[in-house]
Amino acid sequence: MCVYICAPFERNGSIAQLVQSICLTSRGSQVRILLLPQKSPQGDFFLPMRSLAIQIREHTFEMHPLRALWWQKQSMLICADVHIGKGAHFRNSGIPIPKRVNDSNLWNLVVLIEHYQPDSIVFLGDLFHSHINEEWESLNDCLAQFPNLQKMLVKGNHEIEAQHEYERLGFEVFENLQVDDIRLEHEPPVKDVENLYTLCGHLHPAVRMQGAAQQSLRLPCFWIGEKIGVLPAFGEFTGSHNIQPKKGDQLFVIAENSVVRVS
């Protein structure tokens, strides 16, 4: 079972420092407690973060540095490639991946949901990494705090379980989803979808920034093209892939607590 409580924190601390996991043993059962910060004076859970608005066709979206997209008109939060269960999958194979990896993903989801108060959340595929494991139940406990939140999953290549397993956790499951003239799916389409703009994930996009002294840094990014927009991978343990943008594409990197346009 996963229990969520609030605890004080220093405003200058990092997100990694805020996420703490305590395992208690009581009568042979384990209880995982994820400590969340108390609300700030502004009424939300945020350290100072700088999101950035972008216009796609007639719609205004907000790109958040926690690697999510907010669509205010639809009251919809959009995320891609969380890969819940990846850490447990590796641990079950004998590779010692810390449990904090998953805790950080859950923390970020809670922060975003508390901040935006969405009516719905859409995961653009690869919400889960592989077969069912204990981290699935941690996600279920996390989202159970928001009983009125509509949860939608666009299936990705890592969703390998039977559909009823995702429905058991309260998800509506789709191959793709259309809202107005925006198409939501996991992978970029091979051919342009006529009259629709596609938002997707799958690629884990990143760009390498070069400094004057030959130093370099690879940063995850939102990749917004003429007809396709690709979200960065939401998960903390997912990796990233350098992209080859076309002329005219817009790139917005996530640099610490900010979304910054670089092209």
212 versus 55: the higher-pLDDT residue is 55
Q: What is the pLDDT of residue 205?
A: 95
Q: What is the pLDDT of residue 126?
A: 83
Q: What is the pLDDT of residue 189?
A: 93
How large is the average pLDDT for residues 2-14?
39
User: Which of 39-53, 153-167, 191-205, 219-233 has the weakest average pLDDT?
Assistant: 39-53
Distance CA(33)–CA(22), nearest Å, equals: 5
How large is the average pLDDT for residues 55-78?
97
Q: What is the pLDDT of residue 148?
A: 96
Neighbours of 166 (CB within 10 A): 20
Q: What is the pLDDT of residues 73-118, one digit of tens each?
A: 999 999 999 888 655 544 555 645 555 666 788 888 999 999 999 9
Distance CA(15)–CA(108), nearest Å, equals: 9
Distance CA(204)–CA(186), nearest Å, equals: 11
How do the domains of the chain map onto residue ranges? 2-261
Distance CA(206)–CA(109), nearest Å, equals: 21
Q: What is the pLDDT of residues 157-193, one digit of tens each?
A: 867 677 888 898 899 999 999 999 999 999 999 887 8
Q: What is the pLDDT of residue 97?
A: 54
- For residue 214, name the pLDDT band (cuts at 50, 70, 90): confident
List of E strands, the chain: 2-7, 20-26, 29-37, 52-56, 59-64, 68-71, 76-79, 120-123, 150-154, 171-174, 177-179, 182-184, 197-200, 205-210, 216-224, 228-230, 241-242, 250-255, 258-261
- Contact between 146 and 176 (Cβ < 8 Å): no
Distance CA(22)–CA(8), nearest Å, equals: 15
Q: What is the pLDDT of residue 138?
A: 81
Q: What is the pLDDT of residue 28?
A: 42
How large is the average pLDDT for residues 19-23?
32
pLDDT for residue 261 is more than 80: yes
Among residues 111, 112, 102, 92, the alpha carbon closest in space to that of 137 is found at: 102
157 versus 20: the higher-pLDDT residue is 157
Q: What is the percentage of the chain residues whose pLDDT exceeds 90?
A: 46
